[in-house]
Structure 1
Amino acid sequence: MRRRLTGLLLATLLALPAMAQAMTAIIYQPQLRDRDVPAASWTHIFGVARAQGFDTLVVQWTQHGEGGFTAPADQDWLAARFADADAAGLKLVLGLNSDPDFYIRQQQPARMLTGYLRRLSRDNLSLAKLWAGRLDPALIQGWYLPAEIDDVQWRDADANDVLTHYLSNEAKQLRAVVDRPVYASSFFAGNMAPQTYAQMLRQLEQDSGIRLWVQDGAGTAKLNVAERQVYLDAVSDAGGDCHNPASHGVVYELFVQTGDDTAFRAEPRPVNEARHILGKRADCNRDSVFFSLRYLPALNGVLPY
């Protein structure tokens, strides 16, 4: 009888859909000054990342405004780096166009936001087609939208509707290019109650099909440790059964911000602190993402800060 029950249990488990494997990813934010790093060094850089336990490289953007990585020579350089990452055994989540004016433009009234976000969608679609044509589609394991979702602008119902429509459209059009998950990130600074913020993200994921990662806020330190944890618990369904978390993962920050928000400047965390952060993993089988490759202690400053 026991053998029969064991067999039935095994058959039931095999019939269940396999749980998706959470990624352990490191974000790389390309800078034009990185072109001064010798080409041979990138094999070492990505090899170190792989040896540290990362399985995925999230490239934050492949274009930054009108001048960042738009030239053919710069795109050739990026393509070579993607090949280096692939050779090191890293999967690739490919970021698209990052508009430096996004945080100013997002403050427009909802009726004006629609046209602006439509332009962003066109730019992202064009860029996705470019890279899908240049790379083996098997190398692209996901798309990343660099526009980060805050807890201020999108509280307004009309603005939230515009954002939902934008994200839904992005998900559809990018998957039509290469059918992979589409990711974006969000951050909090105490402008919404934790549960309200979590519900906003949960609804955005459900209505748009986008997978959201929540930044832990440790590097920017807008809130203290206890305050940040309340938000992280809210979006992870901590204390629950992990049935309905409000995000697909956490972005752990390996830096300390040294400038204000108008001109981001940062430095790496002390080595012991960074090692502690690198040991963290998001609960509920969610993605663990770390920002960023530039601040990884094992690289000893090979990439300029």
Structure 2
Amino acid sequence: MADFPNLSRRGFLNRSAAVGGLLVVPGLLSACSKTDAGSADGAGALDKLRKQGFVRVAYANEAPYGYLEGKQLKGEAPTLHREIFKALGVDELKPTLSEWDGLIPGLQAGKYDVVSAGMAITPERCANALFSEPEFISPTALMVRKGNPRKVTDLASAKAAGITVGVMSGAVEAKYAQGAGIPEGRIKTLQKPQDGADAVKGGRIDAFLLTGISLRWLAKTNPDTEVTDAFLPELDGTKQYSPGGAVFRKGNEELRDAFNRELKKIVADRSRYVGLLQEYGFGATELPPATLKTADLCKG
């Protein structure tokens, strides 16, 4: 599938090695595939959720995707999923905190019904769970000093300006910068997002390259910076979308399909989508294109 590669920054940063760990212990996954007596599974999953009045969701406490603030579950995924499940007749999300690498095993073990964590859709994960259609894409952006003194807007302009760009260690943005022709000596590696913001403010780098979602969230606590409009980087001429979605247990296809029907209504209504998620740094640039399909993403 040439148009929609499976590389995902969030896959790199959020212990994607754990997915590999899942794949090397197939016996354990098979053992975990049976759900407990209290889980909603099979064709009657949605009916069961309606009767009990809640859906059990897992989150990894990662802002702005899914996190607990006080006693309230917030973020892109819970906000969107709450809206969808209310439309399906299920009024409450009952949250369970999980480590990132335990999200899919916990789903398979029947500890919850849906993963609400903004998880990237990759073929490896599709082998072990069901994904909704994309809830969002993750266009890239640049964090710069207030006023954008070098007037950069994307990687092409960054290359032309000869600036120094910061990227996260182990993240795919380094490949984006290299693919745009930025010299290795002008690509600086940082360990965490705040390090990137600090390097921009301190003049050690001219711009910090990350998803627009993450940078807009980071800018809230770094007022001396600003974030460029988001753009889609390319590798070998292929646009990089990095989409994410809700995750369901295998066997819950009917529940996933019902979810997708309501999701489609929201992503087809730009103002509704933005109104729901702009608090978390998601805007029209994060709306997934209609041609971007999970079935294609799962093929790789």
TM-score (norm 2): 0.26
Structure ranking higher on relative contact order (CA contacts 8 Å, 6+ apart): 2
Normalized per residue, which structure has more helix?
Answer: 1
TM-score (norm 1): 0.25
